Amino acid sequence: EVQLVESGGGLVQPGGSLTLSCAASGFTFSTYSMNWVRQAPGKGLEWVSYISSSSSDIYYRDSVKGRFTISRDNAKNSLYLQMNSLRAEDTAVYYCARILRPGSADQIFDSWGQGTLVTVSS
Amino acid sequence: EIVLTQSPATLSLSPGERATLSCRASQSVSSYLVWYQQKPGQAPRLLIYDASNRATGIPARFSGSGSGTDFTLTISNLEPEDFAVYYCQQRQHWPPITFGQGTRLEIK
């Protein structure tokens, strides 16, 4: 069974930093591209970042470029999101999401974690 | 950036009825349109990909259609567990991947 378990969320002050982790199991993590998607309280879904299976391709939405860094450790079956210079508008539940097909960049999110809440507030 | 507009914002129906949800793209996304279902406190669930392909384990009462800029998710014979929020997402022109604002399907 595919499992994605996020951790690392919490309360942080504006300008602070946080690192989210996503532990993957039940599939060959190293062959799948991954994404982070967030959802502000009571709002819709917003794509944040993408990383290919080998980390050769990485993309971010404009509002987080230069502040967030996505990475992965295929030996540890883990995905990460380093978040710096956090703003109130970054407050959201952050989900890691797997792409449907191994070895592809087809952005169809077939498996999601349960999410981890990041709250940016003083 | 592709903007996806979903309508209606809220749809009130009764179990057993048919639901028709719309997603319109600001420019053509070919057939690269995806639908998700999200229930309160849960992660989204993949329903339909590439406009009309049901994901694994999704009941046949869920169907998708459309191409270009206009897409429809149809849920026939609504079950109580179908009442949720539905999002469309395009994967033709990215980054960024974009989602619609969601349609809330509520029990009438």
Instruction: Give the CB-side neighbour count of residue A111, counting CA atoms within 13 A.
Output: 21
Q: Residue A53: what pLDDT? A: 97
Structure tokens at B41: 């406190």
Among B31, B97, B101, the strongest candidate for a mutation testing the A interface, having the largest count of A CBs within 10 A, is B97
Per-residue confidence in pLDDT tens, chain B, 108 aa: 999 999 999 999 999 999 999 999 999 999 999 999 999 999 999 999 999 999 999 999 999 999 999 999 999 999 999 999 999 999 999 999 999 999 999 999
Dihedral Cα A81, A82, A85, A91, nearest 10 deg: 30
B64 touching chain A per CB within 8 A: no
**Partner-chain residue, chosen from A46, A110, A115, that has the shortest CB–CB distance to B46:** A110
Amino acid identity for residue B107 in this structure: I
Residue A115: left (phi > 0), alpha (psi -120 to 50), or beta? left
Rounded Cα distance between A66 and A85, Å, is 9
Judging contacts by C-beta atoms under 8 Å, the chain A residues touching residue B42 are 114
What one-character DSSP code corresponds to residue A27?
A: S
Q: Residue with structure tokens 């592809």?
A: A104
**Partner-chain residue, chosen from A47, A50, A100, that has the shortest CB–CB distance to B49:** A100
Scanning every residue of chain B, which has its alpha carbon at the shortest distance from the alpha carbon of A113? B43
Instruction: Give the CB-side neighbour count of residue A45, counting CA atoms within 13 A.
Output: 35
Between the alpha carbon of residue A76 and those of residues A4, A79, B81, the distances in Å are: 13, 9, 36
Which regions of chain A are under pLDDT 50?
none
B36 touching chain A per CB within 8 A: yes
Q: Residue B31: what pLDDT? A: 97
**Partner-chain residue, chosen from A61, A112, A114, that has the shortest CB–CB distance to B95:** A61
Contact: B43, A95; criterion CB under 8 Å = yes
Scanning every residue of chain B, which has its alpha carbon at the shortest distance from the alpha carbon of A37? B97
Structure tokens at A44: 């819709």
ω before B8 within 30° of 0 (cis)?
A: yes
Q: How far is B24 from chain A (nearest CA, A)?
A: 16
Query: Can you spell out the DSSP letters for chain B?
Result: ---EEEE-SEEEE-TTS-EEEEEEESS--TT-EEEEEE-TTS--EEEEETTTEEPTT--TTEEEEEETTEEEEEE-S--GGG-SEEEEEE-SS-SSPEE---EEEEE-
B92 touching chain A per CB within 8 A: no
Percent of chain A clearing pLDDT 90 (strictly above): 98
pLDDT in tens, B43-64: 999 999 999 999 999 999 999 9
For chain B, give the mean pLDDT: 97
Q: Is A89 helix (H, G, I), strand (E, B) or coil?
A: helix
Contact: B49, A47; criterion CB under 8 Å = no
Contact: A44, B89; criterion CB under 8 Å = no
